[in-house]
């Protein structure tokens, strides 16, 4: 008989031991689930919070196979993993969620774009290229098909001078430059029974210097029409992918009011961190429920919230010091999360804080003020 999550000996394995894994473990403890982590860094954020922490490369076939074969369920917190080993684990009867076929598709931004096209999911027009970008292509957004993360792997090329920073020796996607009004995101979960639930749409504000998310606003300030289009797109994608697990769907609201899918991530996501305090069920608990086939939780917002990423200050590297923490913690409705990374680097994600307030506008004012107070320095 298949083991239940509360049976003795049930083991859940995660490829990747960063902050996403760490926040997942915090929820898994509530369900008394044994979590094993595979990560190459001995000082990864999960190193001292996992039940079992295995040091190893999640891109290596044998390492992933040996790690996963003793698990009941294997999941990921980063999509750049050895998918061949995941297929093998699936064949051996281990439950791998999201399924290897979903991870494989999402690892390649080119295949993602083809998937949107085949399934009539609105997304910006594109070409897949192996050649260099030329002046005739401009303005354009160029993305590495594989391996990009947190803004690395994406360049916006507007004028000829920008061509110097284009990717030259790798297969890339050329995407039409979208005239963005807002970036929004919907997190959707689907369990093995086929139940699908979305979180209310959130709004993302980026640090334009490095293409990294700085603020999340929950809920998004968008019309009912945009809200329902965004929710519909997320559900359609989860359904068409047949995914088991959590999926973040990043979208653009264009200046002309269209909703276009930007990219998807088959895992917990930065655009869902505010759900820990701001929604009845957090994205981490929802992911857990979806991969062990439990009923999905209520995703309703309890209070509007703003999440702020704590990024390492530019030009500073070394042992981390957090400034302004006392003022943050003295603020009603403010919650702190530190990821346990001992050293900071420019723009490294070191933690986040969330501000809850019955009025989203109030939460924004407080969050922007605190953002200037709390600094990650060396
Ligand atoms: N077609 C586009 N038009 C305009 N801006 C874009 C486009 N594609 C990406 N961007 C900008 O670059 C950011 C990062 O791109 P994304 O594909 O989401 O890569 P990453 O994997 O780094 O998150 C987006 O959040 C958006 O701000
Ligand atoms: Mg993105």
CATH label of the domain that carries residue 149? 3.30.1490.20
154 CB under 6 A from ligand 1?
yes
List the residue whose alpha carbon is closest to atom 14 of ligand 1: 151
The Å distance, Cα 104 to ligand 2 centre, comes to 17
pLDDT at res. 287: 98
For the chain, the straight-line distance linking the first and the last C-alpha, in angstroms and rounded, comes to 53
Assess if residue 336 is contained within a domain: yes
The pLDDT mean for the chain works out to: 97
Asked if residue 322 has pLDDT above 90, the reply is: yes
pLDDT at res. 150: 75
The Å distance, Cα 20 to ligand 2 centre, comes to 16
Give me 254's structure tokens.
């264009």
Asked if residue 42 has pLDDT above 90, the reply is: yes
The Å distance, Cα 250 to ligand 2 centre, comes to 6
Domain count along the chain: 3
- Phi and psi at 51, nearest 5°, equal -65, -40
Measured over the CA atoms of residue 105, residue 108, residue 112 and residue 117, the dihedral's sign is negative
Question: CB-based contacts of 231: which residues, under 8 Å, 6+ apart?
Answer: 186, 198, 201
Cα within 13 Å of Cα(328), Cβ side: 24
User: What is the pLDDT averaged over residues 157-173?
Assistant: 95
Assess if residue 5 is contained within a domain: no
Assess if residue 112 is contained within a domain: no
Note the ligand closest to the C-alpha atom of 262. Answer: 1
Assess if residue 77 is contained within a domain: yes
Q: 69 and 131: one domain?
A: no
pLDDT at res. 147: 87
CATH label of the domain that carries residue 223? 3.30.470.20
212 CB under 6 A from ligand 1?
no
214 CB under 6 A from ligand 1?
no
Q: Domain residues for 264?
A: 180-377
Q: With cut-offs at 50, 70 and 90, classify the pLDDT of residue 207.
A: confident
List the residue whose alpha carbon is closest to atom 11 of ligand 1: 211
> Which residues are in the CB-under-5-Å shell of ion ligand 2?
250
Q: With cut-offs at 50, 70 and 90, classify the pLDDT of residue 199.
A: very high
Q: 36 and 81: one domain?
A: yes
Assess if residue 26 is contained within a domain: yes
Q: 133 and 196: one domain?
A: no
Note the ligand closest to the C-alpha atom of 149. Answer: 1
pLDDT at res. 315: 92
CATH label of the domain that carries residue 84? 3.40.50.20
Q: Which region, left, alpha or beta, applies to residue 139 given φ > 0 means left and ψ of -120 to 50 means alpha?
A: beta
pTM score > 0.95 for this model?
A: yes
Assess if residue 105 is contained within a domain: no
Assess if residue 332 is contained within a domain: yes
pLDDT at res. 61: 98
Q: 210 and 347: one domain?
A: yes
Q: What gap in Å lies between CA 217 and CA 56, rounded to an integer? A: 36
The Å distance, Cα 84 to ligand 2 centre, comes to 24
Q: 163 and 275: one domain?
A: no
Last residue of a domain, one of 43, 77, 96: 96
151 CB under 6 A from ligand 1?
yes
pLDDT at res. 22: 98
Assess if residue 117 is contained within a domain: no
Q: 350 and 372: one domain?
A: yes
Q: With cut-offs at 50, 70 and 90, classify the pLDDT of residue 120.
A: very high
107 CB under 6 A from ligand 1?
no
Asked if residue 148 has pLDDT above 90, the reply is: no
Q: 61 and 155: one domain?
A: no
């Amino acid at each position: 008989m298949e083991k239940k999550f509360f049976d003795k000996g049930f083991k859940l394995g995660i490829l990747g031991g960063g902050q996403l894994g760490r926040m997942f473990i915090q929820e898994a403890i509530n369900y008394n689930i044994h979590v094993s982590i595979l990560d190459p860094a001995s000082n990864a954020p999960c190193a001292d919070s996992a039940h079992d922490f295995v040091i190893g490369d999640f891109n290596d076939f044998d390492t992933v196979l040996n790690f996963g074969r003793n698990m009941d369920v294997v999941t990921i917190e980063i999509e750049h993993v050895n998918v061949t080993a995941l297929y093998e684990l699936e064949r051996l009867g281990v439950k791998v969620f999201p399924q290897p076929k979903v991870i494989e598709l999402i690892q390649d931004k080119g295949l993602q774009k083809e998937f949107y096209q085949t399934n009539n999911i609105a997304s910006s027009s594109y070409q897949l290229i192996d050649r260099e970008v030329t002046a005739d292509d401009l303005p354009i957004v160029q993305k590495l098909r594989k391996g990009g993360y947190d803004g690395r792997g994406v360049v916006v090329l507007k004028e000829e001078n920008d061509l110097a920073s284009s990717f030259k020796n790798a297969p890339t996607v050329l995407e039409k430059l979208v005239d963005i009004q807002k970036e929004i995101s919907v997190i959707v979960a689907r369990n093995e029974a086929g139940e699908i639930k979305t979180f209310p749409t959130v709004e993302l504000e980026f640090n334009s210097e490095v293409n990294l998310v700085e603020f999340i606003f929950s809920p998004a300030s968008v019309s009912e029409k945009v809200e329902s289009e965004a929710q519909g797109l997320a559900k359609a994608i989860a359904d068409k992918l047949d995914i088991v697990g959590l999926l973040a769907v990043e979208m653009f609201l264009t200046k002309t009011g269209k909703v276009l899918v930007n990219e998807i991530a088959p895992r917990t996501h930065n655009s869902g961190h505010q759900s820990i305090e701001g929604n009845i069920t957090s994205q981490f608990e929802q992911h857990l429920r979806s991969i062990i086939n439990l009923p999905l939780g209520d995703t309703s917002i309890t209070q509007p919230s703003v999440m702020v990423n704590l990024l390492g200050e530019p030009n500073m590297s070394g042992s981390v010091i957090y400034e302004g923490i006392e003022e943050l913690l003295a603020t009603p409705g403010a919650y702190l999360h530190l990821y346990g990374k001992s050293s900071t680097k420019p723009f490294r994600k070191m933690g986040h804080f969330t501000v809850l307030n019955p009025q989203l506008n109030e939460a924004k004012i407080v969050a922007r003020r605190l953002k200037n107070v709390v600094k990650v320095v060396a």
